[in-house]
Structure 1
Amino acid sequence: MTMISPDERAAMREGFGRLLAEKCAEADVRRVMATQSGNDPALWTAMADMGITALMVSDEHGGIGAGAVEIEEIMEEAGAALLAGPLLSSAFIAASLIGLSHDDDAKARLLPAIASGEKIVTVAFTGDSGSWDVPGVTVTAQLQGNQWILNGAASFVLSANLADMLLVFAQTPDGLGCFEVDPAHVQIEPLQSWDPSLRLSKIMFGQAQAVHIAGVNEVTFEQTLDIARVALAGEQAGACRMRTAEQYSTTVAAG
């Protein structure tokens, strides 16, 4: 992890806040929420150019190597702006998971593309129960010859509609594992969400071919969820800040 000074952190947060103020005003938010994709490609490119999508990627793979403090602060700005899109799912959760693995090939293959914003990657954790723990993983993986095959379903997957690659936790005969799956090989079904800034999906795996990611286990599962929790806490704090902010004795969100 790279040591980022308080001044650098403040400048990064301020710059991101300015970008969102310019490109993610209320009218922009409503427009993006109304689209099928739930993403603004131009804003995504601007965030990538600023280095936001590279925060959780190590400098070895073209990123910044930030940590939980930076993620929380950036997600506060995202929450205050009601930012829609795959920032949380790809740049923070997926990048963290790959970075925590012991798979150098997967890191070299995926992390530079995540850092640059060229590829969107998302993670499938849980089944229909929505239980964010290891027993909640209902996808299964079996090695058939030299090929891993996945079956079952994962639910509540963020930004699967935008994903160039899926990272899927699955139960194997030897315990929990994680696999790369091409979205073209699965069935993706949109789920309704109370939050119009989110695109949630259920993914069905029927004999889907997969590539095993080395060095991912139950500990990695929990570590990745820890990053997700920090990011979500920041997002909610930002939304709360905007909800309670006042201007001219009137709550901003009331407008």
Structure 2
Amino acid sequence: MDFDLNEEQSMLKDSVDKLLSNRYDFDARKKHAKHAEGFSPEIWTQLAELGVLAIPFAEEHGGLGGGAVETMIVMESIGRSLVLEPYFATVILGGGIVNTAGSDAQKGEILPAVADGSLRLAFAHAERQSRYNIFDVKTTAKKSGDGWVIDGEKALVLHGDSAQKLIVSARTAGGQRDEDGLSLFIVDAGAKGVSRRGFPTQDMQRGAEITLAGVQVGADALIGEAGKAGPVIAQVIDAAIAALCSEAVGAMEAMHKETIEYLKTRKQFGVAIGQFQVLQHRGAEMFVALEQARSMAYYATMMASEKDAAERHKAIAAAKVQIGRSGKFIGQNAVQLHGGVGMTMELKVGHYFKRMTMIDLAFGDADHHLAYVAAQPGGLLPASL
């Protein structure tokens, strides 16, 4: 199988890498984090001008018609630069929901605005009790005339404090943990009854707790068919995990590079510590873990659009296991090999490790997905590969 990028993909990679390497050094990142919204609106605009925000969407909706490979390229670059801008929350999650299940009218209204950077979305789905069960939803939506009334609370909504529109999951039928009975709604973040409490996360991203108290929305706010959003949520989250795997590879690659450079320059007993064989072995083991993660990220990218939901999720879960394990191994060793300075806020390597830890916990950690993969019959690979 050919894993080489074509000419257009290579140009995309070069363009995104150039923008972020020029505008996103470690000091700049700390300044961006202090902005009121937790990121740089200027960088966000530049990403839009470069076409990065438009990549996954069809041309008729203001997009570029890209696929999972193009998303992988962007996410790897985001991981290498520890980008704070809400690309994942807006384009992958919120935009992914609308692009997958939205009506033509919803796509025509929302996706062009996402692509040009004028609209930011947040996926208000997780709840305090749900942990890794994506179907555990207590928030309710009840019919009221031609529209709906939504009541509930959402936790850890990524960039939910700065989004202009929320994609809210709510139960319209069934029990609390049933896959059937879930629905998705587009809600204005400033609507009456919506309250938000924003906070910084451990990796300097932004999250929010969102309360919906008697929020009224029209019939046109419903995405897809009422009560049938479970498979849509599962599909978009699988694609989101694949994107996170690519981001993780970018972060691990940067951690490994930073560590090897440090081993070449830090001196002890009059020589660079990279001359000591035991540390050379550790660097080599980090590289092996990185390449294992890269291979599984490629696999997740290939399977992100698989129509068979069971095969798709099995592959995505297997990739998440390797990403979690490799990220922990590389992060721990990067910090340890940097010595005491590896634990400080002033050194970038610790921030990479924090981001890797948050990626591991997102949508199920390595242990959670390992248990799932172990319980599946028939091995890992689908018969079509």
Q: TM-score, normalised by structure 1?
A: 0.92
2:48 maps to which residue?
48
Query: Root-mean-square deviation (CA), in Å?
Result: 1.9
- Pairing 1:131–2:138 present: no
Cα distance change of structure 1 residues 181 and 102 upon mapping to structure 2, 3 Å threshold: closer
- Pairing 1:208–2:215 present: yes
Aligned partner of residue 141 in structure 2, secondary structure: strand
The 2-side partners of 1:254 and 1:176 are apart by 41
Aligned partner of residue 207 in structure 1, secondary structure: strand
- Pairing 1:227–2:239 present: yes
- Pairing 1:184–2:185 present: no
The 2-side partners of 1:71 and 1:135 are apart by 26
The 1-side partners of 2:154 and 2:138 are apart by 7
Which amino acid letter does the alignment assign opposite residue 83 of structure 2?
L
Show structure 1 runs of 5+ residues with no match.
Answer: none
2:293 maps to which residue?
none
The 2-side partners of 1:122 and 1:53 are apart by 14
Deviation at 1:11, TM superposition (A): 1.1
Normalized per residue, which structure has more helix? 2
What is the CA deviation profile of residues 80-123 of structure 1, one whole-angstrom value per residue up to 9, with x for unaligned ones? Answer: 10100211111222111111114111111101101111111111
Deviation at 1:253, TM superposition (A): 4.8
Which amino acid letter does the alignment assign opposite residue 236 of structure 1?
A
Aligned partner of residue 20 in structure 1, secondary structure: helix
Give identity over the alignment, percent: 27
Cα distance change of structure 1 residues 192 and 27 upon mapping to structure 2, 3 Å threshold: closer
Aligned residues: 250
What is the CA deviation profile of residues 25-61 of structure 1, one whole-angstrom value per residue up to 9, with x for unaligned ones? Answer: 1111011122331110111111000000001111110
The 2-side partners of 1:150 and 1:168 are apart by 9
Normalized per residue, which structure has more strand? 1
Q: TM-score, normalised by structure 2?
A: 0.62
Deviation at 1:124, TM superposition (A): 1.1
2:248 maps to which residue?
236
2:166 maps to which residue?
166
What is the 5 A alignment of 1:30-179? Answer: 30-173=30-173, 175-179=181-185
Show structure 2 runs of 5+ residues with no match.
Answer: 175-180, 266-337, 339-346, 351-385
Aligned partner of residue 185 in structure 2, secondary structure: strand
Deviation at 1:131, TM superposition (A): 2.6
Conservation of the 8 A alpha-carbon contact between 1:138 and 1:154: no
Considering Cα pairs closer than 8 Å and 6+ residues apart, tell me whether 1 or 2 has the greater RCO.
1
2:279 maps to which residue?
none
